[in-house]
Amino acid sequence: MLHERPFDKKQIGSLYWRLPVTITEIDDIDKPETPSSNDFRLLAENIPTLCWIARGDGYIFWYNRRWHDYCGSTPAAMEGWGWQNVHHPDELPKVMEEWQRSIATGEPFEMIFPLRAADGQFRRFLTRIVPVIGPEGRIVRWLGTNTEIESQLTVEAALEASEGKLRVLTDAMPQMVWSTLPDGFHDYYNARWYEFTGVPYGSTDGEGWSEMFHKDDQALAWERWQHSLATGEPYEVEYRLRHRSGQYRWTLGRALPVHDVDGNISRWIGTCTDIDDAKRDAVQTELMSRELSHRIKNIFAVIAGLIGLSAPRGSEEKNFANQLASRIAALGRAHNFARPHSPLSQPHAGFTTLRDLIGELMEPYETPLGRPYEITGEDIRVGERSATPVALVIHELATNSVKYGALSSADGRIGIQIKIDGELVVIQWKESGGPRISAPPEHAGFGTQLSDVSINDQLGGSLIRHWDADGLKVLMTVRAAHL
């Protein structure tokens, strides 16, 4: 005989089904044979749910052990209609009404209601009751089960509340929000999406969203999305999205993956931002910038041409005029480097070196006697995006030197030194031989402010000026990776 295994009677509530099985009167439990009545009794007593048996008239005459473990009751107290004592008084009338109806009609019973545990707490149970029909066609038994679903209902309620808050938040956001399952199936769009597109609710679920894109942008958007799904990398692409008016507007689409505790992608959260107005403004600004630059370069060319036409025919004067025209042409090239650029207007492709860039910018200031400047030190490659802010600062320093500094004097000199110190690149600009400096300027001009923005904000570096008596000294420090 297997000995009884004791358990703690204090284990109640949602832990009732975890109580150990107690076996006392079954000697043949280990015999591999067809299930006997003992096996069925063992199952009924210890199945991890509450169950019971009633007569055809609803009188309950047997409860399994799990029922008494949970309720802390005794068979005598529960027999017949004693079960009403563990029901919540507010719910009991409805339970009685439904149970009486089933007894009268013979229909199965299903209902969710709370039952009081041994600790006095009420927890909700899903109750199901089915009739057993005898040979004469009448109900001879009712078999009932009570399965606790309190935890499940609590989680579902919390999830529903959380989703409700998320829905309110996303619907209030001034841009379109969407989400997908890990495989990319779109299952949610906020109110702004439907407001922008004007499509029926749910019509863009799944892969229906792709039809909202301009046909010329669908392939790129789909390619980027598939790449993100395959690699887990963030999704970002610009495309034209069909507006409810029928017109297509430029939109910036972005999405980030949400990972679970195991690092697996559980969902993608994305946004669509209407950038049509900003994109059109950027195109207009770019056209104006290129037109202005074109006109400035034309002015340089006209000035160089007028110098050539006005120069005397003597060889010495002609040489002077040619040198002056050459310097003006170089100034035009320097201007082209220093002005802001878009990908369409970049003056060079790929990378250049820092020394070559500075040399191009300083070329206009050469004289027949030589270069009033010297570029020394190390060199490093400079990309397209970082070339413009560096060029702007060098150009600003050179033009100010011509007006106020070393280059305004025949004896003036400029030393430009490049030093690579680990991850940092230091560019030193040092003037000498020009007018003496008595004090720093009282006001910073627009060019000075633009130089600070170029180095500090665009390149994440620093720009420090020292107004020494014998000439301006500037230290520009930028991370090599930013160049």
Encode pLDDT of 66-96 as tens digits. 899 899 999 999 989 999 999 999 999 999 9
- Tell me the C-alpha distance between 141 and 133, whole Å: 7
3-state secondary structure of 75: helix
Which of helix, strand or coil describes residue 33?
A: coil
pLDDT tens-digit profile of 94-150? 999 999 999 999 999 999 999 999 999 999 899 999 999 988 888 999 999 998 888
pLDDT at 427: 94
Q: Express each pLDDT in 234-282 by its tens digit.
A: 999 999 999 999 999 999 999 999 998 888 999 999 999 998 888 877 7
- Distance (Å, rounded) from C-alpha 427 to C-alpha 478? 9
pLDDT of residue 116: 93
CB burial string 278-316: b at 16+ within 10 A, e below = ebeeeeeebeeeeeebeeebeebeebbeebeeebeeeee
Q: In the prediction, which pLDDT does 244 show?
A: 92
Share of the chain above pLDDT 90, in %: 35
Residue 350 has a pLDDT of 46
Is the pLDDT score of 3 beyond 50? no
pLDDT attached to residue 36: 67
Q: Which amino acid is at 478?
A: V
**Is the Cα torsion angle 17, 19, 20, 23 positive or negative in sign?**
negative
Q: Which of 308, 177, 321 is nearest to 254 (CA)?
A: 177
Mean pLDDT rounded to a whole number for the chain: 80
pLDDT of residue 327: 64
Is the pTM for the entire model greater than 0.75?
Answer: no
Does residue 165 register a pLDDT over 90?
no
Residue 343 has pLDDT above 60, yes or no: no
Average pLDDT over residues 350-378: 83
The mean pLDDT value for 443-468 works out to 83
Kindly indicate the confidence band of residue 348, based on its pLDDT and cuts at 50, 70 and 90. Answer: low
| 299 — pLDDT class (breaks 50, 70, 90) | low
The H-or-E segment that residue 100 falls in is helix 92-105
Cβ atoms < 10 Å from Cβ of 221: 22
